[in-house]
């Protein structure tokens, strides 16, 4: 049977409706996609334009910080104490060197390279971009610089780059005043981050570590500049777009008198001790010597572990600034202060006399406190007590005054507290009291402790600068000027003197007592080292015990170890009528104060006060 062909009838209306729905859906999708595209373009080009432009520039423009030159340091007369010297280093651009091993071997024939230098360079090369320069050898000598300059044509990709490093031309002479700069370490970085100053050190490797360099870091460092350069996607330099020059640090002038500082170190001659000189008219420190010292330049480039260990473990302790950190018994140098206290409190007057048979006893106690003069001074008044340094007089005065009064009176002269000098390395010394002993040793205060304090011994300790500051108050008859090192600041436009913040004066109930003490010290000088001086002076010597001698024993320097011998001290000021210099000298384990420290003080005074006369006498015709 023949099959019939099936005929399908199309519903054109339904198909047209379906087409329209699909077309509408497609159109809506296209519109949505176009709107999304337009929205994204709006977001990129308008809403987020600044953000993406900044990102683009960050990738295209590199900001390179430029280090500022550090401010210079001068003495009061304009003599340069700390400068910036150029240094030269050997730089290598790795991609320009065909064979690094061969280049290093050939270069070693021109400039000797140590095994450490080659190894450090090879290690650093592994993590270094090949188109950037890498330091091979730093701080070239003049001979190395000349040798490479002649042969530079042989070494593609190797060049010499210059920089500036801190340099101290007088070496160990001013180490404990100036301090030094050194590499920024993790502790320095954390401190800078906390203070918000870290961005200013982006281009700097060094920072002040001690002394004036550290205290006035904010003045000396300056402000960094920057260079904007265009780079490609690999970070290669294309061109320089902008340069903003760094702002150099400010130059500072110190109160230090270089010639007097040199004289102080010359007189110390490597002995352990300190000399401090202050101008009492403004509190400026003229000299602050601590011996032994060390060369700060070795810290600038990075001191070796062995050299630092030698300094750290030395028995002479050269790292300690003896002028501000050395703590010594003031001994008889504080007797003028004690006498002034006795006069003020009415315990003694100018005519009060004390019998000195060579010893003194606490009433009802058998122990004898010996005078330095074993047979005694006889009847002694306040003048004789200071001139002859009579211990018995001051034993009696201390007993009658008591430690509470001694402590409170001496606080007014700054004993037992920091002087406020403008360096961080300072110790306060110790002005003992009942409370101090209880807190320190959990022991009561005994009357015997007071007797020792009455001659500047026992628990009483002071620094040379602290003692000089106290004597300055005596010389100024109560005027109190804190010691300082900064004299003036110089920027690009002017010289600005540093203000002196004078403290409230020490006022006595009877100002005549200043004259009594001053006259006693003047007579002491006339009787001793300054008897033939062409200027008038006032002084007081001291011999500080390092260890206690038994009651009936005799001190013999020849039979004890050198480090247990007495310290020699002297304080002085001159001219007497109008003081221009106050001086403290402390020589460790040198023995008798007047005999050993006296000549040093006289030489220092002559150097400072007779300088103009000497120059006039020796002037060229």
Residues 263, 224 share a domain: no
User: Which of helix, strand or coil describes residue 614?
Assistant: helix
Beta-carbon contacts of 523 under 8 Å, excluding residues fewer than 6 positions away, are 383, 387
**Does 555 have pLDDT greater than 50?**
no
State the pLDDT at residue 111: 86
**DSSP states of 116-172:** HHHHHHHHHHTTS-TTS-EEEE-S--HHHHHHHHHHGGG-TTEEEEEEEEEE-TTGG
Residues 507, 417 share a domain: yes
Quick count: other Cβ atoms within 10 Å of Cβ 176?
Answer: 27
Q: CA 44, 45, 47: angle at the middle one, nearest 5?
A: 70
Residues 153, 267 share a domain: no
d(CA 45, CA 37): 12
Residue 336 lies in a domain: yes
Strands (DSSP E) contained in 47-142 are 61-66, 73-74, 80-92, 134-137
State the pLDDT at residue 243: 73
Residues 363, 471 share a domain: yes
**Does 158 have pLDDT greater than 80?**
yes
**Does 149 have pLDDT greater than 50?**
yes
Residues 446, 562 share a domain: yes
What total number of domains does the chain contain?
2
Task: Bin 333: left if φ > 0, else alpha if -120 < ψ < 50, else beta.
Answer: alpha
Mean pLDDT is lowest, of 37-51, 88-102, 169-183, 402-416, for 37-51
Quick count: other Cβ atoms within 10 Å of Cβ 27?
Answer: 10
State the pLDDT at residue 52: 60
Phi, psi (5° rounding) for residue 35?
A: -65, -40
d(CA 447, CA 125): 72
d(CA 490, CA 430): 38
In contact, 569 and 543? CB cutoff 8 Å: yes
Beta-carbon contacts of 134 under 8 Å, excluding residues fewer than 6 positions away, are 91, 92, 93, 94, 121, 124, 125, 128
Average pLDDT over residues 319-346: 95
Residues 263, 151 share a domain: no
d(CA 379, CA 385): 10
State the pLDDT at residue 621: 42
Please indicate if the annotation marks 356 as binding a ligand. Answer: yes
Structural domain ending residue among the three candidates 209, 231, 254:
254
CA 614 to chain CA centroid, Å, is 34
State the pLDDT at residue 227: 72
CATH number of the CATH domain containing 165: 3.90.1310.10
- DSSP H helices in 235-288: 258-268
Q: What percent of the chain has pLDDT over 70?
A: 89
Average pLDDT over residues 280-290: 96
Residues 381, 329 share a domain: yes
Please indicate if the annotation marks 51 as binding a ligand. Answer: no
Please state whether the peptide bond connecting residue 200 to the residue before it is cis, i.e. omega within 30 degrees of 0: no
**Does 326 have pLDDT greater than 50?**
yes
**DSSP states of 441-467:** HS----HHHHHHHTTT-TT-BB-HHHH
234-251 per-residue burial string, b: 16 or more CB within 10 A, e: under 16? eeeeeeeeeeeebebbbb
Q: Which residue among the candidates 274, 291, 293, 332 is catalytic per the annotation?
A: 332
**Does 58 have pLDDT greater than 50?**
yes
Q: Which pair of tokens denotes residue 247? A: 């702002």
Residue 85 lies in a domain: yes
Residue 10 lies in a domain: no
In contact, 335 and 456? CB cutoff 8 Å: yes
Structural domain ending residue among the three candidates 229, 254, 279:
254
Please indicate if the annotation marks 29 as binding a ligand. Answer: no
State the pLDDT at residue 236: 62
Residues 349, 300 share a domain: yes
Mean pLDDT is lowest, of 33-42, 387-396, 542-551, 594-603, for 542-551
User: Which of helix, strand or coil describes residue 534?
Assistant: coil
CATH number of the CATH domain containing 576: 3.40.710.10
Rg (the chain; Cα; Å): 38
Q: Which pair of tokens denotes residue 297? A: 């330049």
Please indicate if the annotation marks 371 as binding a ligand. Answer: yes
Closest listed residue to residue 257, CA positions, set 2, 545, 580: 580
> Predicted confidence band at 206 (pLDDT cuts at 50, 70, 90)?
confident
**Does 240 have pLDDT greater than 70?**
no
Residues 281, 347 share a domain: yes
Q: Which pair of tokens denotes residue 198? A: 């870290």
Structural domain ending residue among the three candidates 220, 254, 288:
254
State the pLDDT at residue 124: 78
Mean pLDDT is lowest, of 159-173, 452-466, 499-513, 543-557, for 543-557
Domain range for 355 is 258-490+501-616
- Return the DSSP state at 96: G
CA 434 to chain CA centroid, Å, is 34
Helix (H) or strand (E) holding 4: none
State the pLDDT at residue 615: 47
In contact, 588 and 567? CB cutoff 8 Å: yes
d(CA 478, CA 504): 9
Q: Which pair of tokens denotes residue 241? A: 């777009």
Query: Which carries the bigger pLDDT value, residue 615 or residue 263?
Result: 263
State the pLDDT at residue 553: 46
Residues 378, 235 share a domain: no
Find tokens 């340091």 and name the residue.
73
State the pairing for strand pair 73-74/251-254.
parallel
Q: How many CA atoms lie within 13 A of 54 on its CB side?
A: 4
d(CA 608, CA 78): 17
State the pLDDT at residue 546: 67
Residue 312 lies in a domain: yes
In contact, 475 and 538? CB cutoff 8 Å: yes
d(CA 352, CA 397): 11
Q: What percent of the chain has pLDDT over 90?
A: 53
State the pLDDT at residue 617: 47
> Predicted confidence band at 14 (pLDDT cuts at 50, 70, 90)?
confident
Quick count: other Cβ atoms within 10 Å of Cβ 41?
Answer: 10
Mean pLDDT is lowest, of 127-136, 183-192, 304-313, 411-420, for 127-136
d(CA 338, CA 457): 13
**Does 74 have pLDDT greater than 70?**
yes
d(CA 107, CA 29): 70
Residue 519 lies in a domain: yes
In contact, 188 and 277? CB cutoff 8 Å: no
Sign of CA dihedral 583, 586, 590, 592: positive
Residues 201, 103 share a domain: yes
332 is catalytic: yes
Please write the tens of the pLDDT for every residue from 408-464.
999 999 999 999 999 999 999 999 999 999 999 999 999 999 999 999 999 999 999
> Predicted confidence band at 286 (pLDDT cuts at 50, 70, 90)?
very high
Distances (CA, A) of 104 to 90, 117, 121, 124, 163: 12, 11, 10, 15, 23
- DSSP H helices in 502-610: 512-527, 593-596, 598-609
Closest listed residue to residue 414, CA positions, set 401, 398, 427: 427
Q: How many CA atoms lie within 13 A of 522 on its CB side?
A: 16
Please write the tens of the pLDDT for every residue from 566-599.
889 999 999 999 999 999 999 998 877 778 999 9
Contacts 24+ apart (CB under 8 A), 57-64: 59/233, 60/230, 60/231, 61/228, 61/229, 61/230, 61/231, 61/241, 62/228, 62/229, 62/230, 62/231, 62/235, 63/226, 63/227, 63/228, 64/226, 64/227, 64/228, 64/229
d(CA 477, CA 469): 12
Residue 15 lies in a domain: no
Residue 407 lies in a domain: yes
Residue 75 lies in a domain: yes
Please give the mean pLDDT across all residues of the chain: 86
Packing angle, helices 142-151 and 100-110, rounded to 10 = 130
Please write the tens of the pLDDT for every residue from 473-488.
999 999 999 999 999 9
Average pLDDT over residues 192-216: 89
Residues 220, 289 share a domain: no
């Amino acid at each position: 049977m023949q099959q019939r062909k099936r005929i399908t009838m199309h519903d054109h209306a339904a198909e047209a409706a379906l087409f329209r729905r699909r077309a509408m859906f497609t159109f809506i999708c296209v519109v949505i996609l176009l709107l999304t595209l337009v929205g994204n373009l709006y977001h990129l080009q308008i809403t987020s334009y600044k953000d993406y432009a900044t990102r683009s520039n960050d990738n295209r423009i590199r900001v390179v910080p430029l280090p500022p030159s550090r401010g210079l340091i001068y003495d009061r007369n304009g003599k340069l104490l700390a400068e910036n010297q150029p240094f030269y280093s050997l730089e290598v651009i790795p991609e320009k060197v065909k064979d690094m091993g061969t280049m290093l071997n050939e270069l070693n024939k021109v400039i000797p390279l140590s095994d450490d230098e080659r190894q450090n360079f090879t290690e650093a090369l592994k993590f270094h971009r090949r188109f950037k320069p890498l330091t091979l050898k730093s701080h070239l000598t003049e001979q190395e610089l000349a040798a490479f300059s002649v042969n530079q044509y042989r070494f593609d990709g190797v060049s010499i780059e210059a920089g500036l490093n801190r340099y101290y031309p007088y070496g160990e002479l001013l180490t404990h005043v100036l301090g030094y700069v050194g590499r920024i370490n993790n502790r320095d970085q954390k401190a800078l981050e906390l203070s918000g100053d870290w961005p200013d050190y982006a281009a700097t490797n060094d920072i002040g570590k001690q002394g004036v360099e550290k205290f006035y870091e904010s003045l000396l460092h300056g402000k960094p500049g920057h260079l904007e350069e265009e780079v490609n996607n690999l970070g290669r330099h294309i061109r320089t777009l902008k340069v903003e020059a760094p702002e150099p640090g400010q130059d500072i002038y110190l109160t230090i008198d270089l010639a007097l500082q040199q004289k102080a170190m010359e007189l110390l001659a490597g002995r352990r001790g300190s000399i401090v000189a202050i101008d009492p008219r403004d509190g400026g420190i003229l000299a602050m010597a601590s011996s032994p010292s060390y060369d700060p330049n070795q810290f600038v480039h990075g001191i070796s572990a062995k050299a630092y260990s030698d300094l750290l473990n030395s028995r002479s302790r050269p790292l300690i600034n003896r002028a501000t950190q050395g703590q010594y018994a003031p001994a008889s140098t504080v007797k003028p202060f004690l006498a002034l206290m006795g006069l003020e409190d009415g315990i003694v007057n100018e005519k009060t006399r004390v019998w000195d048979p060579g010893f003194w006893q606490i009433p009802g106690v058998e122990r004898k406190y010996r005078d330095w003069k074993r047979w005694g001074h006889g009847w002694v008044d306040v003048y004789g007590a200071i001139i002859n340094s009579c211990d018995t007089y001051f034993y009696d005065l201390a007993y009658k005054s008591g430690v509470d009064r001694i402590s409170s009176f001496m606080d007014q002269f700054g004993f037992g507290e920091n002087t406020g000098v403008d360096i961080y390395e300072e110790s306060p010394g110790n002005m003992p009291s009942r409370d101090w002993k209880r807190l320190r040793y959990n022991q009561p205060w005994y009357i015997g402790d007071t007797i020792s304090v009455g001659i500047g011994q026992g628990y009483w300790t002071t620094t040379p600068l602290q003692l000089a500051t106290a004597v300055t108050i005596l010389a100024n008859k109560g005027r109190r000027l804190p010691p300082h090192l900064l004299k003036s600041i110089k920027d690009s436009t002017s010289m600005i003197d540093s203000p002196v913040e004078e403290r409230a004066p020490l006022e006595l109930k009877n100002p005549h007592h200043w004259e009594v003490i001053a006259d006693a010290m003047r007579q002491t000088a006339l009787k001793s080292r300054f008897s033939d001086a062409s200027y008038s002076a006032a002084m007081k010597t001291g011999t500080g015990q390092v260890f206690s001698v038994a009651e009936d024993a005799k001190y013999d320097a020849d039979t004890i170890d050198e480090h247990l011998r007495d310290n020699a001290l002297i304080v002085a000021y001159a001219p007497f009528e109008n003081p221009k210099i106050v001086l403290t000298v402390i020589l460790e384990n040198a023995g008798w104060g007047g005999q050993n420290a006296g000549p040093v003080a006289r030489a220092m005074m002559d150097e400072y006060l007779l300088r103009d006369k000497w120059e006039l006498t020796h002037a060229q015709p």
